[in-house]
Structure 1
Amino acid sequence: MIASKLTQELGIQLPSAEQQLRLNWKNDHGVEVWIKRDDLIHPIISGNKWRKLSQTLFSAAHSPPAKIISFGGGHSNHLHALGFCCQKLNIPLLAVIRGDYSQNMTPMLNDLERWGAQLEWVNKITYAKRTDNTYLEVLRQNHPNSLIIPEGGSQHQALSGVASIVTELTQEFDLIVAPVASGGTMAGLIQATQNSKTRVLGIGVLKGHDYLHELVNQFLPNESKKQLNGQKASTDWQLNSDFHFGGYAKKTPELIAFCEQFEQDNNIPIEPIYSGKLFWGLRQLVESNHFPAGSKILALHTGGLQGKRALPNIMTKRNKHAVD
C-alpha cells in the first residue's frame, strides 16, 4: 500500500515502454534491437535510479530515518534523484560530494540545495573511504539514526527494484544489454533472468574489467557469480569492457557525434556517459555479427539524462575531457 501510494505521489510512470528501433546499422544477421524506455519513468527520478532506490524509499516512507546519507560526484544522477525523493518525503539528505564545487556549482548541485540537501565537500582521499566500514561508522556516530545509501544506490535492497524491469516485459528477449558502473543494475537483471532463456550483457562504462566483475559478483549468490579464471564461468551473463572510451565520463568527439546522430535519427535522448556508450558498443557488436542470426535484443535505457545540462558547451566544443 505504501509502495503504490508513494509511486503515485512521486508521479512515477510504470511500466516503461518497449520500443523497436529502426536503425541504419549494418546488420547482416538480422538482429532485432529494442529499447526499454526507462528514461521516461519520471523527468527527474528516471531510469535505473528509481529502480535501485524504490525498495529503500518504500521502507523510509514507512519508517523515516533521521537523515539519509549518500555519495556522488558533482553531476551524480543518483544524488539528483535521491535529493528530489528526500524533499518529497521530508527526510533530510546529507550528500557527500567528491570535490569542492562551492565556487563552481553544477545544475545538479543547485537543485540539491534548492531541495534542502546538506552538501559536504570531501577530497579524493576521503571520498575513497566511502565503502570503508570505519569511515561509515564515524558517519553513523556523527549522524545518529541515519540511513546510509551507497554511491549509485547499488546495494542488495536495489536488486528487487531492478528485477521489476524484467517482470514488466510483455515479450521474451534473447538478450538484455545495459550499461555497467556500480554493478547493482546488472546484478538485478541477472537474478531476474536466471530461470529464463534470456541472457544479460553489460557494457562497462568505466575502466577495470576485473573491478566491474567484482562489483556485480558482490550482489550475486555463489551459483551466479562469474569466475574470472573461466573454470566456472556462467554463460548466462557477460561483461564487455571494450567501449569505456578511457574511463568513467571520458568521451571523444566521435562518441559525442554518435550520440547526437542517434538522438536525431531515433528521437530518443542519450548522453555520452552511460547510454551513449551502451549504444555505441551495441552498434559495434551488431555490425561485427557478434550475435546469433535473428537474435532479439533489448537495450535498457537507464536514464541519467539530468547530467546533460552540464554538457552543452562541452558537446559543442567536442571536448575530450571528463565532466565528473
Structure 2
Amino acid sequence: MTSPGPQALRPRLPSPLQSVDDDRFARRGVRLLVKRDDLIHPDLPGNKWRKLAPNLRAAAEAGDRALLTFGGAYSNHLRATAAAGRLLGFRTVGVVRGDELAGAPLNWSLARCAADGMVLHFVDRATYRRARDPAFLAALRDRFGAFRLIPEGGSNALAARGCTELGRELRGRADVVAVACGTGGTLAGLAAGLGPGQRALGVPVLKGGDPHFLHAAVADLQHAAFGGPRGDWSLAADFHFGGYARRTPELDAFADAFEERHGLPVERVYVAKLLFALTALVERGAFPPGSTVAAVVTGTP
C-alpha cells in the first residue's frame, strides 16, 4: 500500500511483528505475537492509517478539500482524521456524540482534534444515530459547506480494502489473528487478506443492544468491498467492560501488569480489551496447543 499524500503521511510498512513471552500462553502451549501497527505513523497509528489512506486518496483525486466524520468523545478516528487534515491541508469537521459536551472543557482527545484544526459539532445521541439520514447530511452541508463524508470509525468499502494488506502481512505467521473492533472495517479487511487455514478474531469494544449488530456490519462491509464473504472470521463478545471507552479496576490492573511485564504500551480503549480477551480465552483452552496467536496493536496510549 502506498502513501496517499506527501512525505508527512508516509507510513512504516510492514509494521513490526514481535514475540511476547507470556507464561499464561506458554502453559497452554500457545505462542503469542503482537503486530505493532501502533508504530505505522505517529499521528495516524495502526488501523486508522490503513482505513483513512484509501479514503484520503479518493478525496484528493476527486478534488475534495473538506472531510466530515463522526465519533465519540475519545474517538481515535476523530483524532486521526484531524491529524490527516493538518498534514494534507484538508478542512475537517467532527460530529461528536453527546450534546452535553458542548460548552464544557474539552477532554484531551477532543482538544487534540481542535488543535489540529478540526471543527467540532456536538449533537445529542438521537441525532447522532441519524448519521446516514440524507436530510441530516443535507443540513450538515448547509452548515459547513461541501465535504467528503467518512463514516464513523472510517469503516467503508475503501477502508476494508485498505486493511487487506494487514492480513497479507500476516499470512503464514499465525493461526489466529485477533483485533479489537469498533465498527468492523479492520476485521472485514483483515479476514480477506489472510491466507488459507488462518482465522481472524474480532473483540468488540462496544456494548451493542443487538449481539449480532457487529457481525452484520462486518458482513455488509465485505459485501460492499469484495462482493461477498471473504476469509474465516468470528467475534469474541463479552469483553467490552460496559461499553466504548468504559474501564474497570480489573481491566486497568490487567493493562498495568501487561505493560510492566512486557514493556509494551497498552492503549486502554481498544488494545487492553483485546489482550484481556486473548488471555482469558487461552486460559479457557480456546486455542489448541501448538497454536500461534497474533494480537494487532492498533493504537497508542
TM over 0.5: yes
Aligned-pair distance for 1:103? 2.2
Q: In structure 2, what is the Cα distance between the partners aligned to 1:20 and 1:170?
A: 16
Give the corresponding residue for 1:6.
Answer: 5
Q: In structure 1, what is the Cα distance between the partners aligned to 2:112 and 2:153?
A: 18
Residue 263, structure 1, aligned to residue 268, structure 2: no
Residue 120, structure 1, aligned to residue 121, structure 2: yes
Q: In structure 2, what is the Cα distance between the partners aligned to 1:7 and 1:53?
A: 14
Residue 69, structure 1, aligned to residue 68, structure 2: yes
Q: In structure 1, what is the Cα distance between the partners aligned to 2:120 and 2:262?
A: 38
Give the corresponding residue for 1:204.
Answer: 204
Aligned-pair distance for 1:214? 1.6
Question: Are the aligned partners of 1:172 and 1:198 in contact in 2 as well (CA < 8 Å)?
Answer: no
Q: In structure 1, what is the Cα distance between the partners aligned to 2:216 and 2:145?
A: 31
> Which blocks of at least 5 consecutive residues in structure 2 are unaligned?
none
Aligned-pair distance for 1:101? 4.0
Q: In structure 1, what is the Cα distance between the partners aligned to 2:53 and 2:178?
A: 22
Give the corresponding residue for 2:43.
Answer: 44
Residue 58, structure 1, aligned to residue 54, structure 2: no
Give the corresponding residue for 2:239.
Answer: 243
Matches within 5 A, 1:130-169: 130-169=131-170
What's the TM-score once normalised by structure 1's chain length?
0.84
Distance 1:170 1:191, change over 3 A: closer
Residues 285-308 of structure 1: per-residue CA shift (max 9 Å, x gap): 1112111110111111111x3xx4
**Identity score, percent:** 38
Amino acid paired to 2:87: K
Question: Are the aligned partners of 2:178 and 2:295 in contact in 1 as well (CA < 8 Å)?
Answer: yes
Matches within 5 A, 1:292-311: 292-303=288-299, 305=300, 308=301
Q: In structure 2, what is the Cα distance between the partners aligned to 1:107 and 1:64?
A: 32
Aligned-pair distance for 1:132? 2.4
Distance 1:101 1:266, change over 3 A: farther
> Which blocks of at least 5 consecutive residues in structure 1 are unaligned?
226-233, 309-324
Residues 154-192 of structure 1: per-residue CA shift (max 9 Å, x gap): 111101211111222374321111111101011111221
Secondary structure, in 3 states, of the residue corresponding to 2:257? helix
Amino acid paired to 2:273: K
Q: What is the Cα-based RMSD across aligned positions, in Å? A: 2.1
Aligned-pair distance for 1:257? 0.6
Moved more, 45-54 or 58-67: 58-67
Of the three residues 217, 220, 228, the one matched with 2:219 is 217
Q: In structure 2, what is the Cα distance between the partners aligned to 1:144 and 1:5?
A: 24
Give the corresponding residue for 1:277.
Answer: 273
Amino acid paired to 1:214: A
Residues 112-146 of structure 1: per-residue CA shift (max 9 Å, x gap): 22222211111112112113233224334555541
What's the TM-score once normalised by structure 2's chain length?
0.90
Amino acid paired to 1:206: L
Give the corresponding residue for 2:189.
Answer: 188
Matches within 5 A, 1:88-99: 88-99=87-98
Aligned-pair distance for 1:267? 1.2
Residues 70-95 of structure 1: per-residue CA shift (max 9 Å, x gap): 01122111010110111111111111
Give the corresponding residue for 1:316.
Answer: none
Distance 1:223 1:96, change over 3 A: closer
Give the corresponding residue for 1:172.
Answer: 173
Residues 238-291 of structure 1: per-residue CA shift (max 9 Å, x gap): 111121112222211011010011111111111332110101010011112111
